[in-house]
Amino acid sequence: MVKSSPANKKAAGIVVALVIGLILVGCNAGGGGTGTGTGDLKIPKSEISETAKFYPYRVGRVNMEVLAVKASDGTIRTAFNTCQICFDSGRGYYTHQGDALICQNCGNRFGLDQIEREMGGCNPVPILKENKTEDDTYIVISQAFLEKNKDLFGNRRK
């Protein structure tokens, strides 16, 4: 029979705490700044600057991405990181260069201040005010809205 020492009990307690922590993190997938599981996508406003930040989200086997950036007027703009015209090519997504987003399929340059302002054409698919909620801390995009738009990412090759 092996006696339990105080050190063994402490180590066991740490292991249990780590396992519980991992379980809680797994149950909260989709909750923090990334959404790679289920639940709403919560974007912390504190992370958003004049440099576009990309938030992954997964619906089934479909990898999606939402972008958020602070426009020159100080408002936070959000969009799906896919082009309204080029999305079906699989390369219709954007990278941030200078004061613009660049479509990786056709090379179109799209000004950051135009996000959520222009619809149609070669630009990011906007996520409008009626499709999200926000408070002083977070922008929240619902799981239902994300799932409804997963077809925009069906051919994505990134």
- pLDDT of the chain along its 158 residues, tens only? 545 555 544 544 443 333 333 333 333 333 345 455 569 999 999 999 999 999 999 998 899 999 999 999 999 999 999 988 888 887 788 999 988 999 998 888 989 999 998 777 788 999 999 999 999 999 999 999 999 999 888 776 76
pTM (2 d.p.) = 0.74
CB 103 within 8 A of CB 95: no
Token pair 């919560």 in the structure block, residue:
42
Fold of 41-153: Rieske Iron-sulfur Protein (2.102.10)
Residue 17: φ, ψ to 5°:
-60, -40
**Residue 69, beta-bridge partner list:** 77
CB 58 within 8 A of CB 99: no
